[in-house]
């Protein structure tokens, strides 16, 4: 696998830790980044809205155009776009993984939490549900 995709916050503090984690964890050469402020808030609270649809269209470019077989979704501490706190964001992250998994059943979906020291933690891995 050469590519994976990540739906990540636009916050520059989480970009490199997440990219390095995914490259090491998945053995990929490239990480397609889809960024929005507080994406798990948007994906979980407005899954059919225009911003969610935009993020999901960009994920489709990665899965269809680059052959990404894993899509990571990220939430993080001190998020200006989503001040829900860790517990609230973890609930939103789970709902976001549900949405991404339904839309892209052929890929694994990986939930990540980035703490206030900018360390990446794997919250959940969901295997593909279709071939």
Q: Which domains does the chain have, with CATH numbers?
A: 3-126 (3.40.1050.10)
- Contact yes or no for 51/44 (Cβ under 8 A): no
pLDDT band at 110 (very low <50, low <70, confident <90, very high): very high
Instruction: Specify which residues 113 forms β-bridges with.
Output: 75, 121
pLDDT value at 5 more than 70: yes
Average pLDDT, the chain: 96
Task: Assign residue 8 a region (left: φ > 0; alpha: ψ between -120 and 50; beta: otherwise).
Answer: beta
pLDDT more than 90, % of the chain: 97
User: What was the pLDDT predicted at 130?
Assistant: 78
Q: Return phi, psi of residue 86, to 5°.
A: -60, -50
In this predicted model, what pLDDT tens digit does every residue of 60-93 receive, in sequence order?
Answer: 999 999 999 999 999 999 999 999 999 999 999 9
The more confidently predicted of residues 129 and 95 is: 95
pLDDT value at 131 more than 70: no
Count of CB atoms within 10 A of residue 119's CB? 11
In this predicted model, what pLDDT tens digit does every residue of 35-51 receive, in sequence order?
Answer: 999 999 999 999 999 99
């Amino acid at each position: 696998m050469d590519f994976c995709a990540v739906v990540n916050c636009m916050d520059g503090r989480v970009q490199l830790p997440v990219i390095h984690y995914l490259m090491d964890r998945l053995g990929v050469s490239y990480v397609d980044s889809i960024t929005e402020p507080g994406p798990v808030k948007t994906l979980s609270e407005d899954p059919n809205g225009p911003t969610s649809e935009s993020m999901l269209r960009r994920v489709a470019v990665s899965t269809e155009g680059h052959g990404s077989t894993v899509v990571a979704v990220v939430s993080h501490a001190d998020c200006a776009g989503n001040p829900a706190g860790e517990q609230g964001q973890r609930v939103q992250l789970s709902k976001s993984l549900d949405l991404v998994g339904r839309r892209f059943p052929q890929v694994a979906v990986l939930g990540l939490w980035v703490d206030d020291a900018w360390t990446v933690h794997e919250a959940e891995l969901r295997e593909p549900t279709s071939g």
